[in-house]
Amino acid sequence: MDFQQWWLLVFAGVFALGWITARVDLRALLSESRTLPRSYFEGLNFLLSEQPDRAIDAFIEVVKLDPETIELHFALGSLFRRRGETERAIRMHQNLLNRPDLPEDQRLHALFELGLDYLKAGLLDRAEETFRQLQGSLYGIDAQRHLLEIFEIEKEWRQAIEIATALQQAGTGSNQARIAQFHCEIAQTAINESRLDDAKRALTDALAANRQNVRALLQQGDIAVQEHRDDDAIVSWKRIEQQNAPYVSLVGDRLMDAFSRLGRGDEGLKLLRSWLDANPSIDLLETVVRAMTAAHGVEAANDVARQELHRSPSLLALAQYLDTRGQLALPTQEDRGDLDVVRNLLHHHTRRLGRYVCTQCGFKARQFYWQCPGCSHWETYPPRRTEELEAQK
């Protein structure tokens, strides 16, 4: 028998073995499927059909018939939690933990799911205690992420820093920007309580964590103002323009007030106008128009508003221009009445355009937030109003 015939025999033998193995596996699968209750397949069908309520009813029936189905207990508990029935989810996972024959990996899984139940139910103390038990386990990293979430909700910023640092050291990615924000939160609490030395230390830590943190510079300026050091405040706020220019719109009013207290209002106005030229912003425009009105009168302010309207056309800029235009003398009472109607209509329409919007979840707010109230992400609000962002696209 030559070489080619040998290869044909080997190939045929391998094919025959594969066919036999497949037949055996298929028979085993069919045998196992016959032992599963019909409710199990009904539950799977309801899940695939996106009918979780009916799926839950079917799976409950399976659990009654076969209490040993551990994986089904997990699936059922997750469905309860997703549907908002946290009490039932908690009982389901507690019952699993009470089983003496539960393997260690399944026990850890049940403990993690129980922590999620507590978190969903708002039982933060119990959730924290549960997730802490998972430290160093297979679920340790995920447990730490949820602990960080809990500490943010509870505003336990020092513990949040500790967990965020541990996660970073575990190789889950950089948390420096987030840690810097936690230090800024500590600083803000200290500022509110007039503990300015504590606030300064926290801001030093914030900038050590993230040198590009704009909020820390803003707060440093606020502290300097409280200590009657307007020159130092101006220096801190000028650094914002160097680090992240669009954020200067957040300090326009503060900066102008500091210059005015020092008797250097014209210098402050000149600086703000240069910022406005480099970074068009409706917030900066409003600040410049107010300062120009106070220093040089309404007509000069109206000229600034008109120039900005032509340079960066928007409904918000138009509303600002009409506001200053309405303060000027008009030829007739009828003209003034017409302008008032247009202004009122425009202001009603621009309310939704003058909001900040989160780039992560789209949550819109009338004021600027460092942490989004909708999704809790940090630094996801650009310092631009809705219409300005749409105009940039």
- pLDDT tens across 285-341, in order? 999 999 999 999 988 888 888 888 888 887 777 778 777 877 776 555 655 666 677
pLDDT at 243 over 60: yes
pLDDT for residue 279: 87
Domain ranges, ordered by start, for the chain: 174-243, 246-350, 355-393
Domains 174-243 and 246-350 in one fold? yes
Map residue 172 onto helix, strand or coil: coil
Radius of gyration of the chain (CA): 32
pLDDT tens figures, 251-279 = 999 999 999 999 999 999 999 999 999 98
Q: Residues 25-52: what's their mean pLDDT? A: 44
Q: Which of 47-51, 240-244, 329-333 has the lowest mean pLDDT?
A: 47-51
Judge whether 327 and 365 are in contact, CB under 8 Å.
no
Q: Residues 366-384: what's their mean pLDDT? A: 91
What is the token pair recorded at 214? 């704009």
Element (H, E) at 199: helix 196-209
Highest-pLDDT range among 8-12, 72-76, 289-293: 289-293
Question: Please, what is the average pLDDT of the chain?
Answer: 81
**22 confidence band (pLDDT: 50, 70, 90):** very low
**102 confidence band (pLDDT: 50, 70, 90):** confident
The amino acid sitting at 317 is: A
pLDDT at 236 over 80: yes
pLDDT for residue 26: 36
Q: Residues 37-64: what's their mean pLDDT? A: 48
Q: Which of 52-56, 93-97, 267-271 has the lowest mean pLDDT?
A: 52-56
Q: Residues 87-114: what's their mean pLDDT? A: 87
Non-local (6+) Cβ contacts of 198 within 8 A are: 186, 187, 190
Residue of 31 and 272 predicted with greater confidence: 272
Q: Record the pTM.
A: 0.78
**7 confidence band (pLDDT: 50, 70, 90):** very low
pLDDT at 38 over 90: no
**280 confidence band (pLDDT: 50, 70, 90):** confident
Look at the block and give the residue holding tokens 């059922």. 76
Strand pairing class (364-365; 356-357): antiparallel
pLDDT for residue 329: 62
Q: Residues 154-180: what's their mean pLDDT? A: 95
Judge whether 177 and 207 are in contact, CB under 8 Å.
no
Q: Phi/psi zone of residue 2: left (φ > 0), alpha (ψ -120 to 50 degrees), beta?
A: beta
pLDDT for residue 165: 97
pLDDT for residue 69: 65
**What CATH code is assigned to 174-243?**
1.25.40.10
With both helix axes pointing from N to C terminus, report the angle between 70-82 and 86-97 in degrees, rounded to the nearest 10: 160
pLDDT for residue 103: 86
Q: Residues 144-160: what's their mean pLDDT? A: 97
Does domain 246-350 fall under CATH 1.20.58? My reply is: no
d(CA 15, CA 12): 5
In this prediction, what percent of the chain has a pLDDT beyond 90? 50
d(CA 285, CA 177): 29
pLDDT for residue 325: 76
Judge whether 283 and 368 are in contact, CB under 8 Å.
no
pLDDT for residue 305: 86
d(CA 177, CA 210): 6
**98 confidence band (pLDDT: 50, 70, 90):** confident
